[in-house]
Structure 1
């Protein structure tokens, strides 16, 4: 078994698509539109067959979690860059472009080298080697 995809509700579908395409080299599939439900989505495809679905629909309430605290439930997902140097480079590029780094690059107690950034809508992304 494997994880096929994760999904994120978003308020700005095109901004989120552009963010993941620019920084994480995803390829967006065709935009899906269901006019009856007023639902729109993209599947964002990573190189290794894992996908992220970004979805938009009116009346989905804002997430009540505080992005600076930890809560029960899904709190982040990790994207591997392939090297420590890539973690550092991507982290600095995101910082320079105005994205908030909430975890500076470091080696964790369990041996991962990672940083943590918030995407345009406050979702935590671990950038790993």
Structure 2
């Protein structure tokens, strides 16, 4: 058994798609659009087989405070393969204006990680 995909509601479908393609080498399918439901989406695929569904629909409300952690899914992680790669991607993202909310460090549970926010303030761990 494995997780087939996760889904993210977004306000700016194209911006968030570009983010994941730029930094995580995601590949996108063709945009799906259902005009009756005012729904649009992309599936992004990764070399590992994992996928993210990016979804947009005007009726979806904003989070009250997107930077405050709440119950529910709080983050997902991309494994980069080495501490050096975590450091390099963190620095590239910083230079390009991505918000870093957790500097690279060794965690108590055995990871080397940093934490960044995507354009919709979803938390992403970059791990070795």
Question: TM > 0.5 between the two?
Answer: yes
Unaligned runs of 5+ in 1: none
Task: Provide TM-score, normalisation by structure 2.
Answer: 0.96
Match of 2:58 in 1: 58
Match of 1:121 in 2: 120
CA distance in 2, matches of 1:15, 1:82: 26
Unaligned runs of 5+ in 2: none
Match of 2:95 in 1: 96
CA contact 1:88–1:105 (8 Å) conserved in 2? yes
CA distance in 2, matches of 1:19, 1:66: 18
Match of 2:40 in 1: 40
Aligned length: 128
Structure 1 residues 14 and 48: alpha-carbon distance in aligned structure 2, compared to 1, 3 A threshold: same
How many Å apart are 1:21 and its aligned residue?
Answer: 0.2
How many Å apart are 1:64 and its aligned residue?
Answer: 2.1
CA distance in 2, matches of 1:66, 1:9: 13
CA distance in 2, matches of 1:77, 1:65: 19
CA distance in 1, matches of 2:117, 2:82: 20
Match of 1:16 in 2: 16
Match of 2:83 in 1: 84
CA contact 1:7–1:54 (8 Å) conserved in 2? yes
Task: Provide TM-score, normalisation by structure 1.
Answer: 0.96
